[in-house]
Chains A and B, each alone.
Chain A
């Protein structure tokens, strides 16, 4: 089967000064620390940040950028279709989907807009752990 979106070898960037520290703040591979770090990988956080950005119509272009992972880590069954949907949400043009680099660029801007909102939601309510603030967000 032909893949419309081959994201292999494409670096994914976040804003270095404002966003990258948040990525570090919310991510830990350790399962023991799941309660305080709602995301195991930066890719996971990126995906949710992009969804939150699109949901809140916050599309922010990146300033100084830092690469945090490469496109092959995206899950082809879940992440890739969502990235395509978010790209279409921005351009309303299906031809965008033929250009993997453009899809990533758009999702980076959605993520850049969503990351601050997401941080506030996850860390803003000290009554619950960050993970449980995340669960509440999903269950709303």
Chain B
């Protein structure tokens, strides 16, 4: 998608019509709009959003935390006064021209308002009419009306992901703050269509339930009716348990977020910083040893593998007895003493007898050797038993090796479990030291933190209990399913409905399995791209490595693998979130324009150079709204101006509160 132009009319501080050229080239992919606070810069950002998303964006405006506005509030005041004096209505509109897939379009959003006075006598607009129109401009220059709906936009830039392509500095700041994992997870969830998989699973499950209930209604016979009722109840229980599990998982995420925030606050208190730092290091080591995917967990997997082979030693006596028996048979000549068949084959191939005499095919020696080979081949069971004898010895060796490896791994396991205990103790001791620090704020924070950590343990316990109950419930369902199927086979209609239920349910289950794999693949893809982008943005941070944990926490690790997010400067951590946003944009492969309102607004001046240098390279079209001097300064101008196709300056008339765009 490529934005070409936007025309605004009577929108916010823009009286009458204004046009902004947004078209870019590959070597000049940037458009810059400069304006001070309150001069109309963000209004153009809003105009682009409104033009694209219409009523969806109007809902976003109302739901915004900071500035709740309705679209009607954007009607230009001068135009409204003018309309009142002429006893006319005023039209406010935004028309956005863009290209997508080689085709040119424009969307027009228009609102007609009537000037009225409220009870205080204030002039306010009252909406009279609201229209949306989408047109395609054909190569011959005709304007063809098209249906404007969410389906059209979903192809280009779905509403649920626009916040990662059209955003402001608040988003950059929020993503870099501790505890942003929920938002990170949602970004990936939306951008890579995980939402579709989840919805598909949900819809198929619902249809399965409908078929199941229909089958139960059709069921005749006491036994089938009873089993069907039990089956239905088991499914209801399962759904309830899964809902409970979702809630607990969300709670787990929320608690983790709170813990991250408290830990971050504590780390910033000077006297506790060193102790908190030590605690962080120990906690990290503990996770590496005993956490999910840690050394202990991996080792237990290995131990299990070795134990399976080592356990065959339990058959030591039978093995020995068979070896003894076969060896005795070999001694008695009941089975060959050596593998003579191979030797005979080799001699025949070389046309040379064992004594060195050469022979020809068909002569005496050749015939004798062939007859001998046939006789050896005939001893099938003998050869097999000989081979088994060898296999028995080899098997014993494998088992002995496995026992040796098992013992080594067992030793290592005990070492790691001892280490885990040591680390736990050390962390507890640090906690005790931290508790004794005489700081007012500190006391309140640690108390909150301790409460959150206890809540985390309680939540984990509940989650485990629910997980266990889900396993039991699923087993019960499986057993009832079988009974129901067997009884239902006797009734054709019931069987048909059960078949449909089974197809829908199995398809839902497959979606659930695919979701897990796909979610993990997507997380890894985003992690890889975020790493690359972070190093592009912050070349001075080469000592750090970025990771996106399985809990969707954006982490920065130092060379020892310890968490280092708190050691990054504010600017570096904001570069991290910009790197993530860029990674999301790249993973989506939609190549949309990036429209950023005040990207440098909350960034450290120290990173302006790196970011302004990198920004023109991360998308094929970038539209930036910047505050002069604060964001458009010597450094950013040096990097961005050569890459800018258009630079606009907003001139603001304080008296009439009107904005005008001037191209510079």
Taking Cβ atoms with an 8 Å cutoff, the residues of A that contact B are 1-5, 31-32, 34-35, 38-40, 44, 47-48, 50-52, 54-55, 76-82, 84-86, 88-89, 94-95, 97-98, 131, 134-135, 137-139
Chain A residues with CB under 8 A of B312:
47-48, 51, 78-79, 82
On whether the beta carbons of B308 and A31 are closer than 8 Å, the reply is no
**Interface residues, chain B, CB within 8 Å of chain A?**
292-293, 297-298, 300-301, 303-305, 307-315, 317-319, 321-322, 325-326, 329, 380-381, 383-385, 387-388, 391-392, 394-395, 398-399, 403, 406-407, 410
Name B's interface SS: helix
**Once bound together, how far apart are the Cα atoms of A134 and B406, in whole Å?**
12
Give the distance in Å from the alpha carbon of A131 to the alpha carbon of B292 in the complex: 18
Tell whether, in the assembled complex, residue A1 and residue B304 are in contact, meaning their CB atoms are under 8 Å apart. Answer: no
* Chain A facing B: main interface SS: helix
Q: What chain B residues lie within 8 Å of A55 (beta carbons)?
A: 314-315, 317
In contact, B395 and A78 (Cβ under 8 angstroms): yes
Contacts of A89 in B (CB 8 A): 317-318, 321-322
B385-A88 in contact (CB<8A): no
Alpha-carbon distance A79/B308, docked complex (angstroms): 10
Q: Considering the complex, give the chain B residue whose CB is closest to the CB of A44.
A: B308
| Complex contacts, B410 vs chain A, CB 8 Å | 135, 139
Which of B297, B300, B307, B322 is close to A138, meaning CB atoms less than 8 Å apart?
B307
- B82, chain A: closest CB distance, angstroms: 70
Residue pair A4, B395 in contact (C-beta under 8 Å): no
Of all chain B residues, the one with the shortest Cβ separation from A47 is B312
Q: A3 CA to B385 CA in the complex, in Å?
A: 9
Contact between A137 and B311, CB atoms less than 8 A apart: yes
A47 to B398, CA, bound (A): 15
Q: Are A51 and B314 in contact (CB under 8 A)?
A: yes
17 sample A-B contacts, Cβ–Cβ < 8 Å, listed by A number = A2-B383, A4-B387, A31-B301, A32-B292, A32-B293, A34-B300, A34-B304, A35-B300, A40-B308, A47-B308, A52-B314, A82-B318, A82-B319, A85-B392, A97-B384, A138-B307, A138-B310
Distance between Cα atoms of A48 and B312 in the complex (Å): 6
> Which of B298, B300, B315, B407 touches A131 (beta carbons < 8 Å)?
B300
Alpha-carbon separation in the docked complex, A40 to B305 (Å): 8
Closest residue to B342 on the A side, CB-wise? Answer: A1
Shortest C-beta distance, B218 to chain A (Å), equals: 30
CB-based contact B399/A78 at 8 Å: yes
Bound CA span A81–B303, Å: 23
Given A2-B380, A86-B315, does the pair A78, B407 have CB atoms closer than 8 Å? no
Given contacts A4-B385, A40-B305, A82-B319, contact A51 B325 (CB under 8 A): no
Q: What residues of B have a CB within 8 angstroms of the CB of A51 in the complex?
A: 311-312, 314-315
CB of A77 within 8 A of CB of B398, answer yes
The answer to whether A135 and B315 touch (CB under 8 A), given A3-B384, A77-B394, A78-B395, is no
